[in-house]
Structure 1
Amino acid sequence: MDSADVLKKVRKIEIKARGLSQNIFAGQYHSAFKGRGMAFSEVREYQFGDDVRDIDWNVTARFHRPYVKVFEEERELTVMLLVDVSGSLDFGTTKQMKRDMAAEIAATIAFSAIQNNDKIGVIFFSDRIEKYIPPKKGRKHILYIIREMLSFEPQSQKTDVGMAMAYLTRVMKRRCTSFVISDFYDRKNFSQEMQIANRKHDVVAVQVYDPRAKMLPDVGLLKVRDAETGYELYIDTSSKKLRLAHTRYWMEHQSELSHTFAKGHIDWISIATNEDFVKSMMMLFRQRA
């Protein structure tokens, strides 16, 4: 993809993501993702029922009558996007590839974050940390992130979610909200790293998948290639037995994922590339509100 195509695509994603974040997600995002705690706001005169522990003794001494400190929720968050850039994301049999959908979802979250004055950062990962973009605010920063998501060329084609989670735990010193956007095709078990990360941070998993992963069509002989290993083979999709085995594998994979996320108390959603991700994201936000 040349730079003109990338810019055109960035602009298209920006228009869609900004519209969604302004009109749909802003309020839901605000209530779904809480701030770090309570921050001092002002002092006012003591009123009946106020907690005596909130009395500001310096101000009270100065004015010879009791004053209390008023606190409000500290809203500013740091949001980290952990985006899978492995080879399996470069696949799509419907209107878009998994990588494109991942970029749209990430962009929408990013624009919702800056609407709430939150910082946003990114970790691109395969089976290594491909790139780390530290959290910052502003539209310019988000456009840079989207451009990177669309044009980034990873060093590796493989996936290691556990390694990415361990890196998040290490690199982010303060608590953050992190969205892991991946198809979660990982040959290693990442349950422990997810649990550890979610104890320190607020981790949300967003799975993107192609509908063909769930069900194979009957189209006869088909050449398939593993994007992460390069291994190729021919399969006969007219075989009902093969199609059933394919669906069974998908169901087992999803059951395993569900168990991993439940064990780590991690909220997650699964979105197909031929679906409207807005509905799924709204459902996730409402569950958390």
Structure 2
Amino acid sequence: MLGLIRRLRTQPRGDIGATAPPGSGHGELPLSANRAEPALSKLQLLVTRKLDGLLQGDYLGLLPGPGTEAGESREYRPGDDVRRMDWPVTARTTIPHVRQTVADRELETWLAVDLSASLDFGTADCLKRDLAVAAAAAVSHLTVRGGNRIGAVVGTGEQIARMPARSGRKDAQGMLRVVAQTPARPGRADLGGLIDSLNRPPRRRGLTVVISDFMVAPGEWERPLRKLGVRHDVLAIEVVDPRELELNDSGVMEFVDPETGRLHEVDTRDAQLRSRYAAAAAAQRAAIASALRGAGAAHLRLRTDRDWLLDIVRFVAAQRHARTRGTTR
């Protein structure tokens, strides 16, 4: 399916009737209106078949949790969220208690989708951009039901587009269509500004999902993400390509930074260079994971060379297993 999106985007210009986005290094095109619908419909069918058979329930979410409506109190257990401490009961009994909550009947979900130029890269089954669209489709499928609403903010370079939260699968499909057709623009990604756009204006408590490759210094987005986590459950979906983690021995290669256009020539036959590259990449990913953990966000990593639907299923299962043991993440 992701290959279908990629093929439709790379058709000759005369066949699609669109112009190449400014700053795209490889001439890829955004999906046209008449081409996006069949691609997204097939993607929706794929998500439905895979996830409906494995994840049962009427109110599914990537972060199945306790909700926000007040319920009964129980004694505190290691791993419980201290933000749910029931201080009046704790004071009366002198034993720490937490307030249990019940799931809301309506959930508001917001997506922050980073579609900056760095996501127009992929060396495996698809581009990172295609995987980001697929992740948005999966989140939409798992949350839009029973009157739940979903909205999105999409960042391309320094520009941010906002789509208001609406309920219903038809509106969700329209939102995904806009996301899939968003053209890439040159310039560095303002991931911090994209995340901070979900903090203003204040929204009702719900689920926020940040989809990005996080190829920006954590210091630029960690604080807005931490602020977002004070009010909402936050899920960070990190999109990764295997060549961002290690290099193969492929001789002399030219690399172009899609955000700045800078060209680098690298001799990948150098074993020490490949080793240093892998170590630097591992340190970068560890810093990203540490920043996400420090911000209180759940972390899901999707790779362009793996079964992304299976990774989502495993993530949801692990989250639910952690919840049943009384832990928060």
Question: Do both share a fold (TM > 0.5)?
Answer: yes
The whole-number CA distance in structure 2 between the counterparts of 1:272 and 1:82 is 19
Output aligned runs, 1:1-289, within 5 Å: 1=9, 2=16, 3=32, 4-27=34-57, 29-30=60-61, 32-37=64-69, 73-187=103-217, 189=219, 190-289=221-320
The whole-number CA distance in structure 2 between the counterparts of 1:81 and 1:11 is 20
**What's the offset of the Cα at 1:234?**
1.1
**What's the offset of the Cα at 1:230?**
0.9
Provide, for residues 67-119 of structure 1, a one-character-per-residue CA deviation record: whole Å limited to 9, x for no partner. Answer: xxxx9742211011111110011111111111111111110110111234311
Structure 1 residues 167 and 277: alpha-carbon distance in aligned structure 2, compared to 1, 3 A threshold: same
Structure 2: which 5+ runs fail to align? 1-8, 10-15, 17-31, 72-100, 321-329
* Secondary structure of the corresponding residue to residue 205 of structure 1: strand
Aligned residues: 258
The whole-number CA distance in structure 2 between the counterparts of 1:104 and 1:275 is 13
Structure 1 residues 163 and 81: alpha-carbon distance in aligned structure 2, compared to 1, 3 A threshold: same
Structure 1 residues 72 and 224: alpha-carbon distance in aligned structure 2, compared to 1, 3 A threshold: closer
The whole-number CA distance in structure 2 between the counterparts of 1:243 and 1:12 is 39
* Secondary structure of the corresponding residue to residue 100 of structure 1: helix
The whole-number CA distance in structure 1 between the counterparts of 2:125 and 2:217 is 28
The whole-number CA distance in structure 2 between the counterparts of 1:116 and 1:268 is 26
The whole-number CA distance in structure 2 between the counterparts of 1:288 and 1:37 is 20
**What's the offset of the Cα at 1:16?**
1.1
Structure 1 residues 84 and 254: alpha-carbon distance in aligned structure 2, compared to 1, 3 A threshold: same
| C-alpha contact (below 8 Å) 2:222/2:295 kept by paired residues | yes
Q: Which amino acid aligns with 1:145?
A: M
Q: Which amino acid aligns with 1:205?
A: A
Comparing 145-154 with 243-252, greater Cα deviation is found at: 145-154
Counting helix residues as a fraction of each chain, which structure ranks higher? 1
Q: Which amino acid aligns with 1:17?
A: V
* Secondary structure of the corresponding residue to residue 174 of structure 1: coil
Comparing 125-134 with 19-28, greater Cα deviation is found at: 19-28
> Normalised by the size of structure 2, how large is the TM-score?
0.73
Provide, for residues 136-171 of structure 1, a one-character-per-residue CA deviation record: whole Å limited to 9, x for no partner. Answer: 111211221221222111444421222122111113
Instruction: Give identity over the alignment, percent.
Output: 24
Structure 1 residues 172 and 288: alpha-carbon distance in aligned structure 2, compared to 1, 3 A threshold: farther
**What's the offset of the Cα at 1:193?**
1.3
The whole-number CA distance in structure 2 between the counterparts of 1:240 and 1:219 is 11
> Normalised by the size of structure 1, how large is the TM-score?
0.82
Comparing 4-13 with 243-252, greater Cα deviation is found at: 4-13
Root-mean-square deviation over aligned CA pairs: 2.2
Q: Which amino acid aligns with 2:104?
A: E
Structure 1 residues 26 and 110: alpha-carbon distance in aligned structure 2, compared to 1, 3 A threshold: farther
| C-alpha contact (below 8 Å) 1:130/1:155 kept by paired residues | no
Partner of 1:48: none
